[in-house]
Structure 1
């Protein structure tokens, strides 16, 4: 007799897309290369950075775009939960309420305990999916790094430290960010 799939997420556990979809809705997991990537609940600083960036970006976006924190993005076989995502409302397809299946204009990740996922696995997968703008906020290093695709891979375009006040290009708009204020 085959046991039913466990509903408790286990880091690195291999599972089918159907098993992934059967997990409880409040489970914070991503589906990368057919395996679960489990993230702990973000801390206060992490959430503050996410909200501050989302509000700042939202204030400069044209009416054609929206910013949203922690919404699933499913490019192909994987599913990610970017900390901040900017997308063109015209590319959000019917049925995209659960997850976005187009290509966002920007994804921002705030580094925490899963640094390798954000800096290596996701970076490669995001470039493969054609994401044009990727930013990483690193509270530990006190930096905000912007990336652009060069020959199919991300290359840093700028590294902004704690003392920087930067105008950041997200392709469709420019947002001013005081890195010290952002990092708290």
Structure 2
């Protein structure tokens, strides 16, 4: 196992990820949206990127539908994906303990595809100015206290998707030192890397 990990939208803050999952889990789609993505660019330069993102989203939603069909074929009651390809399977701990669910997941594993980067980036929440400042402060703190390779934030305040060594002594020291910046108690248990 590598001592390096990718630091992207999925892993930057456990609390934010949990809040995002809870926030979108109740969102449903009727599957009729056609998978279109709105483009904020509007001009010719943005049209190509928008079409590419739209085509990736459409492909992802189609792949999710095939995966759900497979799960249903294996006897599970899985809902249709929403317009963004998300499938709300409910209580994940139940899915990890249920032998029928485990067998269905194993059977359908080859149909499960990762979220394309463009789709994931488009789904990132817009951060407030205070959240952007907090993320910038956290990145600077981490870098100054031993995790020099910790990612900076992008213009939207999200941490850049880069590989950094989260298991080094410096990174662990920095995480303890900077925990309060993001609201994590300094005595909270740390993740094992």
**Same fold per superposition (TM over 0.5):** no
**Which structure has the highest helix share of the two?**
2
Bigger CA radius of gyration:
2
Normalised by the length of structure 2, the TM-score is: 0.29
**Which structure has the highest strand share of the two?**
1
Normalised by the length of structure 1, the TM-score is: 0.30
